[in-house]
């Protein structure tokens, strides 16, 4: 009989633990902790990991967001003077002037090493250029943006399953920037005599763009040309379109999306 009671007690305890919900802390560097928030002070959060009783202290400046087991979410500022979203009591207050740059959709008929990372590479380029071209606004770090999205199981290919207001609300920003780069190989042409070469015999094109896609065919140096189209879109937290424009690049180099992004960002009107 004692064994039966012990077994029932153990089964009930395990069932209760299985149904127990935990708090989730997402740090600004993308690391996530799961457990129980014990206390929140003016500058610190006291926290125990799942299945442990030891209490750790985490500085609020290291925390981006806490998703409580109750379903409530608080988004914290990263520094005392930060423009990151902040939380007041139970209400999340979004920074209307903050923009999150999402991973760009990348389409190409040219397979190459690192192709699957281009969505993030273009995102980083758009982020850096946005800091220069849109100084009135603050920008969420791509590391934070990607960490939040991936923690929710949202990769660049799945962004289409969400509306822009849903993404803005998830990220805690007032605007989101997203786009698409289409790169199409258009064939090879012989390098002209006017092309300027570096010491490594690779051509540098006007405007400082470097094309590494050169090869030798029938004892002649030829270069592979590309056609690039960039689409840039910006939405507000309600999902309304603030800017959308498509631009075909003048340059035929594989990195022509960079100067095309710069062109579009200068014309957002923001």
User: 258: which DSSP letter?
Assistant: H
Q: Which range is most confident: 14-23, 31-40, 198-207, 218-227?
A: 31-40
Tell which wins on pLDDT, 16 or 84: 16
Please write the tens of the pLDDT for every residue from 151-195.
Answer: 888 888 888 889 999 999 889 899 999 999 999 988 887 765 444
CA distances from 43 to 50, 61, 79, 129 (A): 23, 8, 10, 33
Domain 98-185+218-265 class? alpha beta
Domain assignments of the chain as residue spans, ordered by start: 2-93, 98-185+218-265
Cα separation of 39 and 47, whole Å?
A: 7
> How large is the average pLDDT for residues 191-201?
49
Quick one: pLDDT band at residue 225, thresholds 50, 70, 90?
confident
pLDDT of 6 > 70? The answer is no
Instruction: Tell me what pLDDT residue 207 has.
Output: 36
Mean per-residue pLDDT of the chain: 78
Instruction: Tell me what pLDDT residue 79 has.
Output: 37
Alpha helices in the chain (DSSP H): 2-19, 118-133, 142-151, 164-171, 257-265
- Tell which residue, 54, 218, 184, has the closest CA to residue 107: 184
pLDDT of 87 > 50? The answer is no
| Torsion angle defined by CA atoms of residues 40, 45, 49 and 53, in that order, rounded to the nearest 10 degrees | -60
């Amino acid at each position: 009989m004692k064994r039966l009671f012990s077994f029932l007690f153990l089964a009930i305890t395990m069932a209760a633990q299985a149904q127990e919900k935990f708090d989730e802390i997402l740090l600004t560097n993308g690391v996530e902790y799961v457990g129980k928030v014990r206390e929140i002070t003016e500058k610190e959060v006291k926290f125990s990991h799942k299945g442990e009783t030891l209490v750790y202290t985490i500085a609020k400046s290291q925390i981006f967001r806490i998703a409580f087991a109750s379903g409530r979410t608080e988004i914290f500022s990263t520094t005392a003077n930060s423009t990151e979203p902040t939380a007041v009591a139970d209400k999340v207050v979004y920074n209307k002037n903050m923009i999150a740059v999402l991973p760009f959709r990348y389409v190409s008929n040219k397979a190459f090493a690192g192709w699957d990372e281009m969505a993030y590479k273009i995102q980083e380029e758009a982020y850096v250029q946005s800091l220069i071209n849109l100084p009135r606004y603050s920008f969420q770090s791509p590391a934070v943006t990607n960490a939040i999205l991936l923690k929710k199981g949202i990769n660049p290919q799945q962004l289409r399953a969400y509306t822009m207001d849903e993404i803005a609300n998830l990220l805690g920003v007032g605007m989101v920037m997203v786009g698409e780069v289409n790169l199409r190989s258009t064939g090879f042409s012989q390098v002209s005599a006017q092309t300027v070469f570096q010491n490594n015999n690779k051509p540098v094109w006007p405007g400082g763009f470097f094309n590494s896609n050169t090869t030798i065919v029938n004892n002649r140096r030829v270069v592979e040309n590309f056609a690039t189209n960039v689409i840039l879109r910006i939405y507000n937290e309600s999902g309304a379109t603030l800017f959308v424009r498509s631009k075909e690049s003048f340059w035929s180099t594989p990195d022509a999306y960079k100067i095309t992004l710069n062109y579009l960002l200068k014309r957002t009107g923001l």
